[in-house]
Amino acid sequence: MQMLSRAWRHTLVRHATLAVLGLLVAVVVLMSVDDFRNRQLTELAYMALAAGGLTLLTGINGQISLGHGAFMAIGAYTTALLLQDPETALPLPLVLLASLLVALVVGVLVGVAAARLHGPYLAGATLTLAIAVPGIARYFSTTLGGEQGLRVTSPEPPAWFLDALFFLTGTEPSNSQYYAILGWTLLVVVFFLLANLIRGRVGRRWAAVRDDEVAAELAGINLARARVSAFTVSAAVAGLAGALMAIQIRLAAPTAFELTLSLTLLTAIVLGGLGTLSGAIIGSVVLVYTARIATDVGTAQGLDSIAAAELAPLVYGTVMILVILLAPAGLVGSLLRWRAARAARGADRRTTPPAARPTDPHHPDGPADQQRRPVATTKGDQP
Amino acid sequence: MPASDQVAHATPDPTSATPSATATPALELRDVTVRFGGVTALSAAGLRVAEHTVHGVIGPNGAGKTTLFNVACGFLRPDEGQVVRRGETLARLRPHRLASYGMSRTLQGLGLFDRLSVLDNVMVGADRHGRSGFLGTMLALPGATRDEDRLRERAMEALERLRIAEHARRYPPSLPYALRKRVALARALVAEPTLLLLDEPASGLSSEEMDELAALIGGLSGEMAVMLVEHHMDLVMKVCDRITVLDFGKVIADGSPAEVQQDPAVVAAYLGDDVADLDADTGPATDPATPTEA
Ligand SMILES: Nc1ncnc2c1ncn2[C@@H]1O[C@H](COP(=O)(O)OP(=O)(O)OP(=O)(O)O)[C@@H](O)[C@H]1O
Ligand SMILES: [Mg+2]
């Protein structure tokens, strides 16, 4: 028992166990639901994947991106180009890898520029990206298909996959099940790797840069390198998510990657709670399913399909406002906070009561913030 | 790392307290001038911090103390003058390279990472002892895991030394101010610097906490040189081996605490505040750090 709990504290053991369990549950669920649900769950997988990448960038490293949909577009178009001709199509793993790499390279370039920008400037720059990339796709209509986009010849499941699943479950998986299992496998593997990064030295540096860049720099962290690496990883993950999306919807078209997609991703991570991977999943679940449910309810109430589809943003907005009002740290964030507060209360009971100073104006030294001496001139953000 | 109770001797070994003039100093600032537009924050300021001494830098508000630290850390490139670390001129010093020169600094504010646990805050400070790279961390390779364990161990030792180990899992905003200051100090110490720069470590501390801090700083000079900017004169006079006094960016005195206290230029510079401030026996009640808005 003690050995188990010691092993559990090891990052690799903990994350690997969760990954394997997660994958098992996913395969069992995906094999037992119909094609419609499988398509929905694939959508959830690529949205959660992209949201996970964005979590790392915005939640952990503190760089906002209003343009993450653009990296999904880059991944999707790469996949579409590579899968265009079934004769010369590369094997799927290579297609996915290529999509990831192209997004990664663009991510490095954008990341280098972004590392110098802060707050609204960064938001503006990434917003430009979100608008520019679909525009580029429209402009190069001969290679990228213009408004119509590129059809994607989604690959058939390989024989070994069919055999393996038939052996395990006794049924042949459909194409939809194949994409769903592919999507969830990628989600689990990528989240396993991201969780390792976040829990380890790399993620600690990213978070330090987010919280206080002066102190982080003094601790020996190269700010630019930390920011660019976070941007790169995040873009690569979004590229992979885009590849999956293209395979699922069998199309890479500009309308799929408009600004709304980027904003949806941002909404997902804010809903789930900035800074946790589980929050990215939960936020994506809320977004993907509220949209469906709202549309279904609308149709059931006799709305035509266009009006019903317009209900979704309304519901997003309402959910977002509710979360911001009731749980400003996001769904998972609030849970973690509540747990930390409870642990802190426990710790205080065990040790001495905390000194009253930080907020107590009657303490001889005054409250902490008023302790600063007045200075003659403003010092800006001088360290 | 010595246990916390070994740290209590406030006077370092007397040979190191009176460094010979010929020894290479831990840090030397040569004629440093910094101008901000019309304000000359430092004008040809120079000082030498000998190895294994506590070197105080004092002066009225706005005298240029923090600016001096910023130059020493590479946050500011001086308009004139040099920073020399153990005989090596640091011409293009960048703050993130500071740790690799064996230097560590605490900030005048707290500068803690509020959304990282206390333990993680200190592990960031220990980062320069880490070896694992990006791939190792991402794949959680055994080497990276061991590296992480070592960093955690170092961080826990530093927390124990400052007697805040029981708060390792908490987050800085939930701690009282005095404990947060200790976290900041632990984060600076865990890097195992050979030169530590402390910018007002005693601000916001009660007099008992200040005594503790004095004992700690006194004990540090066995391991490293310490540069101390502080307004609490009793603390400065107690722990410093040597003091440089700045006023309007100029060095107006440099010497032992006793010499500096009697220096007429220093007394004059502090007349604006209160001459009694320079008296080491003054209690915290007449502390110059208490805001005295004119
Ligand atoms: N970034 C800056 N821009 C403009 N002026 C500055 C800047 N930093 C410092 N100064 C000015 O330089 C002078 C020295 O400031 P500095 O912060 O070094 O003083 P200090 O001795 O640390 O004071 P304190 O005791 O209040 O911390 C002050 O007049 C200050 O207003
Ligand atoms: Mg200062």
Q: Are residues B137 and B274 in the same domain?
A: no
Q: Are residues B36 and B175 in the same domain?
A: no
Residue of B nearest to A370 (CA): B291
Q: Are residues B91 and B2 in the same domain?
A: yes
Q: Are residues B78 and B121 in the same domain?
A: no
Q: Are residues B54 and B159 in the same domain?
A: no
- Per-residue pLDDT tens, chain A, 383 aa: give them: 666 676 666 777 888 888 889 888 888 888 888 888 899 899 999 999 999 999 999 999 988 888 899 999 999 999 999 988 777 778 889 999 999 999 999 999 999 988 888 878 888 888 899 899 888 988 888 888 888 888 888 888 888 888 888 888 788 888 888 999 999 999 999 999 999 999 999 999 999 999 999 999 999 999 999 999 999 999 999 999 999 999 999 989 888 888 888 888 988 888 887 788 988 999 899 888 887 787 788 888 877 777 777 777 777 777 777 777 777 677 777 777 777 777 666 655 544 433 333 333 333 333 333 333 333 333 334 45
Q: Are residues B207 and B124 in the same domain?
A: no
Q: With contacts defined as CB-CB under 8 Å, which chain A residues touch B155? A: none
- Beta-sheet strands, E only, within chain A: 150-151, 251-252
Q: Are residues B183 and B145 in the same domain?
A: yes
Q: With contacts defined as CB-CB under 8 Å, which chain B residues touch A207? A: 113, 115-116, 120
Q: Is the separation of the CB atoms in B63 and B249 below 8 Å?
A: yes
Nearest CA to ligand 1 atom 16: B64
* Helix, strand, coil percentages, rounded to 5, for chain B: 40, 20, 40
Residue A242: per-residue pLDDT: 96
Query: What would the two tokens of residue A174 be?
Result: 């459909």
B292 domain residue, yes or no: no
Select from B159, B192, B225 the last residue of a domain: B192
CB spacing of B132 vs A371 below 8 angstroms: no
Angstrom distance (rounded) from CA B238 to CA B229: 13
Q: Are residues B36 and B14 in the same domain?
A: yes
Angstrom distance (rounded) from CA A362 to CA B128: 41
Q: With contacts defined as CB-CB under 8 Å, which chain B residues touch A372? A: 109, 203
Residue A377 Cβ < 6 Å to ligand 1: yes
Nearest CA to ligand 1 atom 19: B62
Residue of A nearest to B177 (CA): A358
Is the CA virtual torsion B173, B179, B180, B184 positive or negative?
Answer: negative
| Residue in B125, B137, B167 closest to A196 by CB | B137
| Residue in B107, B128, B206 closest to A220 by CB | B128
* Alpha-carbon separation of residue B92 from A224, B74, B95 (angstroms): 17, 8, 10
B140 domain residue, yes or no: yes
Residue B272: per-residue pLDDT: 57
Residue A156: per-residue pLDDT: 85
* Helix, strand, coil percentages, rounded to 5, for chain A: 75, 0, 25
Collapsing DSSP to helix, strand or coil, A165 comes out as helix
CA within 13 Å, CB half, B13: 8
Q: Are residues B30 and B64 in the same domain?
A: yes
B294 domain residue, yes or no: no
CB spacing of B137 vs A197 below 8 angstroms: yes
Select from B192, B214, B240 the last residue of a domain: B192
DSSP state of B169: T
Domain CATH number, residue B34: 3.40.50.300
Residue A245: per-residue pLDDT: 95
- Beta-sheet strands, E only, within A180-284: 251-252
Number of domains in chain B: 2
Select from B137, B171, B192 the last residue of a domain: B192
Residue A319: per-residue pLDDT: 75
Residue B177 Cβ < 6 Å to ligand 1: no
Angstrom distance (rounded) from CA A81 to CA A244: 14
Angstrom distance (rounded) from CA B124 to CA B144: 15
Q: Which residues surround ligand 2, an ion (CB under 5 A)?
A: B 65-66, 108
Q: Are residues B1 and B85 in the same domain?
A: yes
Its domain, for residue B78, covers: 1-102+193-287
| Residue in A200, A364, A368 closest to B177 by CB | A368
Dihedral, CA atoms, B230, B118, A204, A217, nearest 10 degrees? Answer: 0
- Per-residue pLDDT tens, chain B, 294 aa: give them: 444 444 444 444 444 444 455 678 889 999 999 998 888 888 888 899 999 999 999 988 888 999 999 999 888 888 988 889 888 888 888 888 888 899 999 998 889 999 999 999 999 999 988 888 899 999 988 888 889 999 999 999 999 999 999 999 999 999 999 899 999 999 999 999 999 999 999 888 888 888 989 999 988 888 899 999 998 888 999 899 999 999 988 888 888 888 888 888 888 877 655 444 454 444 343 344 433 333
Q: Are residues B221 and B143 in the same domain?
A: no
Q: Are residues B188 and B202 in the same domain?
A: no
Q: Is the separation of the CB atoms in A239 and A104 below 8 Å?
A: yes
Nearest CA to ligand 1 atom 7: A379
| Residue in B99, B169, B176 closest to A354 by CB | B176
Q: Determine phi and psi for B82, rounding to 5 degrees.
A: -130, 155
Residue B135: count of CB within 10 angstroms of its CB = 11
Rg (CA), chain A: 23
Collapsing DSSP to helix, strand or coil, B247 comes out as strand
Residue A123: per-residue pLDDT: 86
Residue B240: per-residue pLDDT: 92
Residue B118: per-residue pLDDT: 95
| d(CA A362, ligand 2 centre) in Å | 25
Nearest Cα to Cα of residue B176 among A351, A358, A323: A358
Nearest CA to ligand 1 atom 6: A379
- What residues does B80 pair with on adjacent strands? B33
Q: Is A6 exposed, middle or buried (0-12, 13-18, 19+ CB in 10 A)?
A: exposed
CB spacing of B134 vs A202 below 8 angstroms: yes
